[in-house]
Amino acid sequence: MERLKIAIQKEGRLSDKSLQLIQEAGIRHNQDSKRKLISIGENFPLEILYLRDDDIPQYVADSVADIGIVGENEVLEKGRKVDVVERLGFARCKMSLAISQSEKYTGLSYFNGRRIATSYPEILKKFLMQNNLKAEIHEISGSVEIAPGIGLADAIFDIVSTGSTLISNRLKEVEVVANSEAVVIGTPDLSASKKKILDKLLFRFQAVRRSKNNKYILLNAPNINLDKIVQLLPGMKSPTIMPLYDEGWSSLHSVVNENDFWNVVEKLKEYGAQGILVIPIEKMII
């Protein structure tokens, strides 16, 4: 039986999120198999390889794995010949330049002649070249944020999520070089049969993602304002409307985007909506 080989990070937050996505996509596999580096899907033709995140782009480029879930930062840094086939919306972060809080930042020219510590030298080199800057790059594998404090560098280029690590090391973010999130990458030479399996897998991933971003909403509304409420809650195609026993009122069922939720609810209240219920969506297929 032909299986699609997917590489994911062996351990860490991205590994946990990737496994959660696979589970929510309805794919069962041996959860203890991470220790063996490989696990097999029981009800879907998938083989999971557990690798170091910085090795995943190479494995996919060499077709050892057909696809992989990895941070976009690793894709940019490694520069391997892979296709980004899906953005997953989690593990979002920035790749930024930061300097000491006591330093006065004067713009990009500040970095000319400076020493910059980073674990992502290739992305940094490209950025410096694009902006006609010359700086000394110190490549280190971890604890980049301590480099200015111990005199190793004048600035750092690193991943920034909440910014708390920068603050604790008396640094401040001054330039965002790139944005990153978890992505599905694929080998450009994927066979037609495996492409069909990939399409089915992405279909499941997309259904899970939509469910995270949307809520099912039920409410009672005065008929006089139904047109306004329908404009506010168009749903996937159009909302479901059913008459209530009380004359002049209807029950409306629809879908609302999580990002718009509170603004929409405020408007619904203005239009006289009552008994508003909001329910999580497990899967959303359109």
What are the sequence ranges of the domains in the chain?
Answer: 4-89+182-190, 93-180, 214-280
The domain defined by 93-180 folds into D-Maltodextrin-Binding Protein; domain 2 (3.40.190)
Q: Same CATH fold, 214-280 and 93-180? A: no
- The per-residue pLDDT for range 188-229, each reduced to its tens digit, is 989 999 999 999 999 999 999 888 888 899 999 999 999 999
CA atoms within 13 A on the CB side of 189: 8
Domain 4-89+182-190 has CATH 3.20.20.20: no
Q: For residue 211, give the nearest of 282, 260, 261 by alpha carbon.
A: 282
Q: Is the model's pLDDT at 34 over the cut of 60?
A: no
Residue 226's pLDDT is: 93
Q: What is the Cα–Cα distance from 133 to 51, expressed in whole angstroms?
A: 35
CA distances to 82, 139, 176, 210, 259 from 179, in Å: 18, 20, 8, 22, 20
Which pLDDT tens digit goes with each residue over 108-166? 999 999 999 999 999 999 999 999 999 999 999 888 999 998 889 999 999 998 888 89
Amino acid residing at 9: Q
Indicate if the pLDDT at residue 30 is higher than 90.
no
pTM of the predicted protein model: 0.83
**What pLDDT is attached to residue 32?**
63
Q: What is the mean pLDDT of residues 260-282?
A: 91
Position 113, amino acid: G
What's the CATH class of domain 214-280? alpha beta
